[in-house]
Structure 1
Amino acid sequence: MKNKQKYYPRQTLIAFLLVLFAMPLGHALMILMEKFMGEGAMHIAGFMMGFVGLILVIIGVFVKGDTRQTLWGFIGGLLFWTGWVEFLFLYYARRYGVQPEIENGEIVTKPEYLIMPASFGLWMMVMTMYVFSTRNGCDFITWIQKVVFRTKRKVIAAQPMTRHTSIVTFMELNMMLWGLYLLLMFCYDKRFLGDHHPVTFLVGVGCLIGSFFILRRQLRLASWGANIRMAIATVVVFWVPVEVLGRLDFFKEIWIEPEKYTTQMICILVAFVALLVYIMFAAHKKKSHE
């Protein structure tokens, strides 16, 4: 008789919500900085935010404990992405006068996202390194290696990189955000598909279904650190249909106008901090009983 697979719904739900709440908070932070800071001060603050994020990730390399390393990498990665990726795209889009995409008198795509697809080659460069040089726990990369290398996989990608949990979390978050933003920008581009194209809708549906398969794997992870890292994959993939539906005005994206939805955004922030504190306390308690 086979042993039943054990599931960990508490860890999964809390980790999922932690990462999920971080998504609108990141959007809202950038919007508020754009609206209430002068342009020069905003770009300096954005650059400093990215720098602080990098420092947090590096600190995470030296702290002890899988959960704490994961949290340092996750929070540092969020600040890094917002400050040194999104704000730098914003800076150069404004500096060189890139115009937003406008439909029916409303901005549907901001200039910084219009120029983001130009980074596709850089994303592929990093992915080539991962595919040809590392063995890792990413199912997508592992699947590519199995398809491309077949029986030679163990020879070509023989061993993993030096593993620092903070760096792993940082790279997972940023590579997934980067890759799925590129996918969305390709889908929204009318020269290719367009936001109302059936393929764009299918991409959203496919990512929604895919997120449930990832969630199923996440449910099997007892460790807080591993569960949070899987939650990053779950939420980032789940966020694709959220973005697609928001683009189609299926619901109101309150994080785009956070100053109008102060109560809701504060509630999300409080919930995020509460979950973060709970995870740190639970991980410490678990370690002290081992």
Structure 2
Amino acid sequence: MDISKNNVWKTLASFFMVLFAMPLGHALMIMMENWMTPTAMHYAAFTMGAVGLVMVIIGVFAQGDTRQTLWGLFGGLLFWTGWIEFILMYYARRYGVQPEMVNGEVVTKPEYLLFPATFGFWAMFMLLYLFSAKTGCNFFNWCQKVFFGNKKNAIVVRPMTRHTSIVTFMELNMILWTSYLLLMFCYDSHFLGDHHPVTFLVGLGCFIGAIFMFIRQLKISSWGANIRFSIATVIVFWVPVEILGRVNFFKEIWTEPAEHQTEMIILLVAFILLAAGIGYASYKKKTDRKKSGPDNAPTV
């Protein structure tokens, strides 16, 4: 496999930028819970989700694949945290949903216990993508090939209107949603349980899958496409992280950010530097391309 150094840098930068966003998102929720009154927290969370939605829409009108991807990514993260997780938290608290307790310790917060109830909505979205989206996603292409066979092109005739910001936004939310449903199914003792062998096999399978995805990602030379692929790679990789944290294999510092301020600040600084570096690299590449002029532009 011919991999340029540039692709290695792009892949590592994209992967770690998205990866660092995961613990930072968890830490943000914990800090808002601990440092804000419930009323102020929910108003702030609703505003956060609204800002995220506006960012995604701004990304539709942004110029350049990388910029659109970043608008969709950051907007999607704020949207998921503010309008998905915090709204579930609000209604869980409002109607007195109790957390799952083991030996007097909270192992699953009430809002996450509500996630399995969204399975029908998730299936509805999956049906839309399966039958109505001609996409570059390997997973959906495989599903369409399995279910439709030679009739694939007749059933899935054309792609939906493609806005990179919306594509990134939906990719992030759908994969996060799928991962949460998978984890909550595995953790549920009525089905498997967090110490069940199948749960560990799910984690192992996701870890191995993430490795293969990362290797495939090394071939992607475009910043925007590399970042979008990183979203899938990181979330799949995060599944075994969640499972191992659940069984206390290691200490999840992002669940107690106040006790691990130095580590969280390092993650935040690294995240900002990577995002800024990716933005600058994309801008520089675009500027260099303009300076080269149409005479030096590659033919298609």
Q: Is TM-score (shorter-chain normalized) higher than 0.5?
A: yes
Q: Supply the distance in 2 between the matched residues of 1:137 and 1:99 (Cα, whole angstroms).
A: 41
Question: What letter corresponds to residue 187 of structure 1 in structure 2?
Answer: C
Partner of 2:91: 92
Counterpart residue number, 1:236: 235
Q: In structure 2, what residue type is equivalent to 1:266?
A: I
Deviation at 1:217, TM superposition (A): 1.4
Alignment partner, residue 272 of structure 1: 271
Which digits, 9 at most, give the CA deviation of each residue in 1:246-274, with x for residues without a partner?
Answer: 00100000000001100100110000000
Q: What is the distance in 2 between the residues matched to 1:167 and 1:134?
A: 14
Residues 169-184 of structure 1 aligned to structure 2 (within 5 Å) = 169-184=168-183
1:141 aligns with 2:132: no
> Quick one: which amino acid aligns to residue 126 of structure 2?
M
SS for the counterpart of 1:196 is coil
Runs of 4+ in 1 over 2 A off after TM superposition: 4-7
CA offsets, 1:208-254, max 9 Å, x none? Answer: 00101111111011111000000000000000000000001000000
Calculate percent identity across the aligned residue pairs: 65
Q: Is there any run of 5+ residues in structure 2 with no aligned partner, and where?
A: 290-300
How many residues are treated as equivalent by the alignment?
287
CA distance in 1: counterparts of 2:114 and 2:244, whole angstroms: 22
| Equivalent position amino acid for 2:222 in 1 | S
Give the TM-score, by structure 1 length: 0.98
- Cα distance in 2, alignment partners of residues 97 and 6 from structure 1: 54
Structure 1 residue 174: Cα displacement: 0.3
Tell me, in whole angstroms, the C-alpha distance in 2 between the residues paired with 1:232 and 1:205. Answer: 19
The aligned counterpart of 1:214 is 213
Residues in 2 aligned to 1:27 and 1:185: alpha-carbon distance in whole angstroms = 17
Deviation at 1:6, TM superposition (A): 3.3
RMSD between aligned alpha carbons?
0.7
Residue 72, structure 1, aligned to residue 68, structure 2: no
Determine if the alignment matches structure 1 residue 286 to structure 2 residue 299: no
1:5 paired with 2:32, answer no
Give the superposition deviation at 1:139.
1.1
Structure 1: 5+ residue runs without aligned partners?
A: none
Q: Residues of 2 paired with 1:113 and 1:106: CA distance? A: 16
Matched, 1:263 2:262: yes
- What is the 5 A alignment of 1:72-221? 72-221=71-220
Residue 5 of structure 1: CA displacement? 3.2
TM-score, reference length from structure 2: 0.95
